[in-house]
Amino acid sequence: MKRVAPELESLMWTLAEEGNDRAIDEFGARHPELRSELLKRIAMVKGLRGAKKRQSESPKAIPRFVPRETTARGPILIVGGLVLAALCALAFALTILLTPAPHLHVVEQPKPAVVPLATDAPLPPPQAPVVQTPNPLPPKVEPKDEDSDLKPGTLKIKHAPLLSVLQLISETCGVRIDPAPGMPNPDVVVDYRDMNAMQMLRDLGKQYSFTPLDQHDGSILVVPAVDPNAPSEDNTPVGMDRVKKVGG
């Protein structure tokens, strides 16, 4: 249906509501394209007004008015809320009262045996008793080695291109290695024993200036760059001073 301007819409509704035949005819003459729209509105208004007939038939006799007993919801809600609040307060108080306070165990340190001193060295100050809380802090857990999930392997190669070595590390250690574009591909010599892929790659990276990044999805990305600000643990390749690797 073509969109009708709001003023014309409003005018059509007014004409339909007033039912002035002359005005309707005039409108139809001025806007013949809207004549059918106007007739639809006239029919709708007639239908709407006609729907009231049904109402006038309905109340045959007016029933006697008897004020109903209204359920006073307000006071019930207020009382209910207060009771709920009181129960919450009671539960909180009971929780506080019944929870035992943490006991402090005072452990007497055994007094050191007094040994007569032959020298003039000053005596150590007496030790204060150690106060132990019932829940001492849990022992510090050593951070888990991120690479411990990776499977160790052994690899010994004499003179092979770096990219082929990466491929072999991948197959040996069961991880996917994705070398980034621009990786160098010199001939390398490796001899790794019981080392996982990350350890091997880190060691190779130190020598050939690349960085392995564990993607934690079973793959390692190898980028031909080295972070100069990376914490240097040991710049010497493993193979130089450790038993596990001989290579480079």
- Stretch touching other proteins by CB under 8 A, among 42-50, 156-164, 174-182, 186-194: 42-50
48 forms part of the interface with other proteins (CB under 8 A): yes
134 forms part of the interface with other proteins (CB under 8 A): no
Cα–Cα distance measured from residue 240 to residue 203, given in angstroms and rounded to the nearest whole number: 10
244 forms part of the interface with other proteins (CB under 8 A): no
- Stretch touching other proteins by CB under 8 A, among 52-60, 125-133, 208-216, 232-240: 52-60
Cα–Cα distance measured from residue 29 to residue 41, given in angstroms and rounded to the nearest whole number: 17
Burial of 62 (C-beta count, 10 Å sphere; 0-12/13-18/19+): exposed
232 forms part of the interface with other proteins (CB under 8 A): no
**Residue 57 Cβ, how far from other proteins at the closest point, in Å?**
7
Report which of 146, 151, 149, 186 is spatially closest to residue 165, judged by C-alpha positions. 186
**Residue 68 Cβ, how far from other proteins at the closest point, in Å?**
5
Q: How many residues bind other proteins (CB under 8 A)?
A: 27
Q: At what angle do helices 197-208 and 162-173 cross, to 10 degrees?
A: 170
Cα–Cα distance measured from residue 42 to residue 39, given in angstroms and rounded to the nearest whole number: 5
The string of DSSP codes covering 145-194 is PGGGGSPEEEEEEEEEEHHHHHHHHHHHHT-EEEEPTT----EEEEEEEE
**Residue 21 Cβ, how far from other proteins at the closest point, in Å?**
20
13 forms part of the interface with other proteins (CB under 8 A): yes
76 forms part of the interface with other proteins (CB under 8 A): no
Binding residue (CB under 8 A) for other proteins from 14, 30, 36, 44: 44
Q: Residue numbers of the site for other proteins (CB under 8 A)?
A: 9-10, 13, 40-41, 44-45, 47-59, 62-63, 65-68, 70
